[in-house]
Chain A
């Protein structure tokens, strides 16, 4: 591809604070649905607006503004959002009202805020940004899809600064349904025990992570995004070949560490096993879903983690899946899938080159 795209600002909201990166003890949960940590939303969003906003919109605007602030960008040239489940809370509110009243008189407020593009639209509205605006909603490949659009935009040389993010929220009933079809584990467990659980399902959460990307490198840049790929379906046995092909295409002989979307679901973690015991057996392997849970756009948290590692040149122990470490992390591959579908590969490297 050869285009240069830099990560200049990052921000995330999750069930953990950023201090997990500074080796502070992580927060522990005993439930299988993890809400995001409350933020000082008032510092970025007017209280009047705040009252009506669902978690996804709040988290989205907050992270978007923080990422832009760090990159010193006031007006991005494109806004791209990935959200697999969109505005669940307002969708649920409207749907439940509609069903309970048997299609009676309904207030339009929650319907208005139920569309999947609400987060991207509200960010545009908040920033008064009339630029390119896009929302991807492809389950676990939503954020990766948004990143591919960002790569295209930079290749097309039409924009300089791009805001891209992933966000997914939880809502009482819709998220609860995921317990009924084995997406969420039956038994409650401590999140830190996720990888040892050996049962079907995982723990789910709400998270957001946003990035200010640019064609221009800054002294404070975190990393360079090299390439992104999504693949809808593949067999575990085919994964190695697909990863090799992806690295080859980008002329990357070797990566230094991999960040894996392992989620403790004993039906599907074999995808990760395949490469943990195979091509990446001698590499440092990291996981994060035992800390922040799983959701359709949580791979954006993995990109946040990779960005931090490449900039600060350290790997917090809490994320390590194996005993191997890496003294000089320069090239990172992020791999994620959910229920054997929507496989995403994100490749990035240090800006030091």
Chain B
């Protein structure tokens, strides 16, 4: 089946401020993980994938007036979409462009900063509505003058993957001609303390799929892609096509994944069926691979159940960017598109020893390979599992 065309992408993460820098970082295997310098946390010893630009610097890049109330996630989102816009040839987005954004915590960064100020300092009260995910999405929409269909998906770490799938369905149904899809999440004290209380943060750089992995590193990023209906493409280059998407719920535990990887298995199976391909046609898997004991075990089992002995090359790119929560699915969609365009597989950094339970070995150094079909996984709290399939244009 001819999938939905992707005609633009944009990204900002710990490995680069735009698509070009990001691609260079991926190829050179440069990790963006380091200690927090901008996030005002006491956990200065916990490594994170931080974008080394303050809110003031981001605001300047975006030419925002002083006294604005953009959340950090909105600032990052606007940067990523500016990058996207630059690469599409549109001066601004045509009227009736839709916008579907994924985020997990939205603007909680402003709530945690101003929680005790609201009562006494009326000047801070403009941040009160910023907490809720829709606010961040609206700010980004406002920046690009998008006034029609604007919505937010918040399914924890699968948020932006679900935004991409929903956008593709909107185009297919004819409801939209053009839609920006993806997600944004910034580092916050709320999330770093939350994941820390769950004892799943690694004290060192994360090591996805390694037998001695100790947990994840949080990261921050925003990434978006532009989807367009066939009659809008004209002679624009098509970066790739979304041909498959699958969403399922693990229905096992609020935060932990089942040992059998049921949710992941179902999501991937649905995505493959939707794309109308066989699992053997998948050339590369960008795994969710957070580096936690639980996720990587569960995901490995799901992959083995689907691919058996014929598991294609796979890697997790979380050791580059950290786990960017609601943005992760979109970040990895951009990485998957870069992989497809350049026939490259980006390595799973910090890997040494195969997991005892499954013995899977990810790609460890940059690999050149002709790629036609890429699978990208995103799983989250609440049992939410999503898989996306991207294929080269013109297959």
Contact present for A118 and B382 (CB under 8 Å) = yes
Residues of B123-160 contacting chain A, CB below 8 A? 125-126, 128-129, 131-135, 137-138, 141-142, 146-156
- Least CB distance, A55 to chain B, in whole angstroms: 17
Candidates B42, B112, B134, B135; contact of A141 at CB < 8 Å: B134
19 A-B residue pairs with Cβ-Cβ distance under 8 Å, sorted by A, are A91-B190, A98-B112, A102-B42, A106-B193, A108-B194, A114-B194, A115-B154, A125-B383, A130-B262, A131-B248, A132-B247, A133-B248, A134-B247, A135-B382, A138-B134, A139-B134, A149-B166, A152-B173, A173-B115
Contact present for B249 and A103 (CB under 8 Å) = no
Residue B358 is within 8 A (CB to CB) of chain A in the complex: no
Chain A residues within an 8 Å CB radius of B146: 232
Residue B255 is within 8 A (CB to CB) of chain A in the complex: yes
Q: Which A residues contact B (CB, under 8 angstroms)? A: 79, 84-86, 91, 94-96, 98-99, 102-103, 105-108, 111-118, 120-122, 124-125, 127-139, 141-142, 145, 148-149, 152, 155-156, 173-174, 177-178, 180-181, 183, 229-234, 296, 341-342
- Least CB distance, A213 to chain B, in whole angstroms: 17
Contact present for B169 and A152 (CB under 8 Å) = yes
Contact present for A132 and B175 (CB under 8 Å) = no
Q: Using A118-B381, A124-B382, A133-B382 as known contacts, list a sample of 15 further A-B pairs with CB atoms less than 8 Å apart, ordered by residue number in A.
A: A84-B132, A84-B134, A105-B197, A112-B381, A115-B156, A117-B156, A129-B251, A131-B248, A135-B155, A135-B382, A136-B153, A142-B134, A181-B125, A183-B129, A233-B147
Task: Determine the residue in chain B with the shortest Cβ distance to A85.
Answer: B132
Chain B residues within an 8 Å CB radius of A135: 153-155, 382, 384
Residue B367 is within 8 A (CB to CB) of chain A in the complex: no
A145-B151 contact given A130-B251, A180-B128, CB 8 Å threshold? yes
Q: Is the interface of A mostly helix, strand, loop or mixed?
A: mixed
Given the complex of chains A and B, what is the CA–CA distance between A128 and B150 in angstroms?
31
Chain B residues within an 8 Å CB radius of A120: 155, 382, 384
Residue B43 is within 8 A (CB to CB) of chain A in the complex: yes
Chain A residues within an 8 Å CB radius of B43: 103
A108-B189 contact given A133-B249, A156-B169, A180-B125, CB 8 Å threshold? no
Contact present for B382 and A91 (CB under 8 Å) = no
Given the complex of chains A and B, what is the CA–CA distance between A145 and B154 in angstroms?
12
The 10 closest A-B pairs by CB, nearest first: A121-B382, A116-B154, A111-B194, A139-B134, A232-B150, A117-B382, A108-B197, A137-B154, A133-B249, A138-B134
Given the complex of chains A and B, what is the CA–CA distance between A85 and B142 in angstroms?
20
Contact present for B118 and A98 (CB under 8 Å) = no
Candidates B118, B135, B142, B248; contact of A180 at CB < 8 Å: B118
Given the complex of chains A and B, what is the CA–CA distance between A132 and B158 in angstroms?
13
Given the complex of chains A and B, what is the CA–CA distance between A138 and B129 in angstroms?
12
Chain A residues within an 8 Å CB radius of B350: none
Task: Determine the residue in chain A with the shortest Cβ distance to B258.
Answer: A130
A128-B134 contact given A133-B384, A181-B128, CB 8 Å threshold? no
Contact present for B156 and A103 (CB under 8 Å) = no
Candidates A86, A98, A130, A149; contact of B189 at CB < 8 Å: A98
Chain B residues within an 8 Å CB radius of A128: 251
Chain B, interface size category, equals: 35 or more
Candidates B129, B153, B250; contact of A137 at CB < 8 Å: B153
Which of B108, B132, B173 lies at the interface centre, i.e. has the most chain A CB atoms within 10 A of its CB? B132
A115-B104 contact given A95-B111, A99-B116, A137-B154, CB 8 Å threshold? yes
Given the complex of chains A and B, what is the CA–CA distance between A99 and B188 in angstroms?
12
Contact present for A122 and B190 (CB under 8 Å) = no
- Least CB distance, A154 to chain B, in whole angstroms: 11
Q: Mark B262-294, 1 if CB is under 8 A from A, else 0.
A: 110010000000000000000000000000000
Candidates B115, B128, B149, B173; contact of A156 at CB < 8 Å: B173
Given the complex of chains A and B, what is the CA–CA distance between A116 and B152 in angstroms?
11
Given the complex of chains A and B, what is the CA–CA distance between A118 and B142 in angstroms?
29
Chain B residues within an 8 Å CB radius of A124: 249, 251, 382-383
Contact present for A99 and B173 (CB under 8 Å) = no
Chain A residues within an 8 Å CB radius of B266: 130
Candidates B104, B108, B149, B253; contact of A95 at CB < 8 Å: B108
Contact present for B134 and A137 (CB under 8 Å) = yes
Given the complex of chains A and B, what is the CA–CA distance between A232 and B98 in angstroms?
10
Contact present for A177 and B118 (CB under 8 Å) = yes
- Least CB distance, A51 to chain B, in whole angstroms: 15
Residue B395 is within 8 A (CB to CB) of chain A in the complex: no
Residue B55 is within 8 A (CB to CB) of chain A in the complex: no
Q: Mark B320-335, 1 if CB is under 8 A from A, else 0.
A: 0000000000000000
Residue B119 is within 8 A (CB to CB) of chain A in the complex: yes
Candidates B128, B154, B189; contact of A103 at CB < 8 Å: B189
